[in-house]
Amino acid sequence: MPAGNKGPAIDFDKFRPSRSFVAARKRKDMAMRVLIVLAFVVALVPLISVLWTTIVNGVKRLNLNFLSYNMAGVVGGNQTSSGGYGGVLHAIIGTLEITLGAMVISIPIGIMCAVYLVEYANRSKLSHTITLLVDVMSGIPSIVAGLFAFSMFALIGGPGTINGFEGSVALSLLMIPTVVKSSEEMLKIVPADLREASYALGVTKQRTITKIVLRTALPGIVSGSILAIARVIGETAPLLMTAGYTASTNVNLFSGQMTTLPVYVYQEYSKLNANCPPHADATCVTTIPMERAWAAALVLILVVLVLNLIGRLVAKVFAVKTER
């Protein structure tokens, strides 16, 4: 043994983990694994419960009559002359029109804002602020959006103005940030080669953007917009104060109160029970408001889920082919 290589003798046994220590570590690992799986199961319970109860309670009253009549002429728990118990036709029309109004406002603005951020901004200070504020805007409470639309229309159209378009304005406030975010993501992944090839051919910036960039990103933008619609179509609170509630069908977006599906669900829920005359026959149902609420909730959930599905399918099927 060479003399220079005499290091201190290390007692490696000192570092050997004791058996109980290893076991404790393994136990902890197992415990965390169980907890994590448990967390997942816990989260599944409410989801399944929500879907299950909505479907089970909803199908009871969900039929053609429910979908093709409004609430006009519905008295207490009595059957209407059409043989049903009132329906959601007016709410479906209201939801479609108000959401369409919100789309018309927010999708062009949202896309153009994304175009500004991606194509024109060049990381300027202004664009930085706008990006941050779009993020912040997506967190605005929906009821504040409702209050905003309400106060704005009270100034323009006199106090107490309530119409469907007011609801559209409130919803578009919630929808714009979602559209901007998703469109921005989509525009960002359009390959720069495409833009440069277009510029090299002498095409102006506007034409490059509309004919090349937006066209390439179209599927992503469409899917993002559909998901944004799915988000606002279930909004209740802002519509409660801007679009109001009515029992009959109103097809005019710009005047008069308008019912939407979520508001309908809430209104039926808050009715609790319907009155029946003392000697009513079996066709008079006292629990009909809750049953109507569940049925309308089922319609709403179906609409939202179908929209989500379409949005995801569009994104998947027509996805932009980037360079891997």
CB of 65 to other proteins, least distance (A): 22
For other proteins, the binding residues in 57-76 under the rule CB under 8 A are: none
Which of 66-74, 91-99, 127-135, 249-257 is the region at the interface with other proteins (rule: CB under 8 A)?
Answer: 127-135
User: How many residues does this entry show for the chain?
Assistant: 324
Give ∠ CA 154-267-58 in degrees, rounded to 5.
Answer: 140
Q: Which helix (H) or strand (E) holds 111?
A: helix 89-115
Cβ closest to other proteins, residue 204 vs residue 275: 204
The answer to whether residue 293 forms part of the interface with other proteins (CB under 8 A) is yes
CA-to-CA separations, 250 to 72, 164, 267, 298, 300, in angstroms, rounded = 11, 9, 17, 22, 19
Q: Does 209 bind other proteins (CB under 8 A)?
A: yes
Report if residue 236 touches other proteins, rule: CB under 8 A.
Answer: yes
Q: Which stretch binds other proteins (CB under 8 A): 38-46, 72-80, 88-96, 247-255?
A: 38-46
Distances (CA, A) of 204 to 5, 114, 115, 210: 76, 19, 15, 10
3-class SS at 139? Answer: coil
Backbone angles phi, psi at 292, to 5 degrees: -65, -40
Q: Which of 135, 144, 220 is nearest to 181 (CA)?
A: 135
When binding is defined by CB under 8 A, the residue of 23, 39, 75, 104 that contacts other proteins is: 39
Whether 259 and 96 have beta carbons less than 8 Å apart is answered as no
Residue 29 engages other proteins in binding (rule: CB under 8 A): yes
Token pair in block for residue 302: 């179906």
Stretch that binds other proteins, among 61-69, 72-80, 140-148, 249-257 (CB under 8 A): 140-148
Nearer to other proteins, 69 or 245 (CB): 245
**C-alpha 195 chain-centroid distance:** 33
**Nearer to other proteins by C-beta: 78 or 222?**
222
Using CB under 8 A, pick the residue from 16, 21, 23, 25 that binds other proteins.
25
For residue 130, state whether it binds other proteins (rule: CB under 8 A): yes
The least distance separating other proteins from the CB of residue 11, rounded to whole angstroms, comes to 20
Q: How far is the CB of 167 from other proteins (least distance, A)?
A: 14
Please report whether residue 132 would count as binding other proteins according to CB under 8 A.
yes
Q: Are 233 and 227 in contact (CB under 8 A)?
A: no
With tokens 């998901």, the residue in question is 227
Contacting residue, 148, 194, 212, 247, with other proteins by CB under 8 A: 148
Q: Which stretch binds other proteins (CB under 8 A): 93-101, 114-122, 183-191, 313-321?
A: 114-122
Helix (H) or strand (E) holding 145: helix 142-157
Of 73 and 108, nearer to other proteins (C-beta) is 108
Among 29-37, 69-77, 218-226, 313-321, the segment contacting other proteins (CB under 8 A): 29-37
Q: Which stretch binds other proteins (CB under 8 A): 3-11, 67-75, 181-189, 300-308?
A: 300-308
Considering Cα of 77, then 60, then 86, then 271, what sign does the dihedral take? positive
d(CA 31, CA 33): 5
Q: Please tell me the count of residues contacting other proteins according to CB under 8 A.
A: 90
Q: What percentage of the chain's residues is helix, strand, coil (to nearest 5)?
A: 70, 0, 30
Q: Select from 89, 93, 186, 265 the one that contacts other proteins (CB under 8 A).
A: 265
Question: Residue 159 CB, nearest distance to other proteins (Å)?
Answer: 6
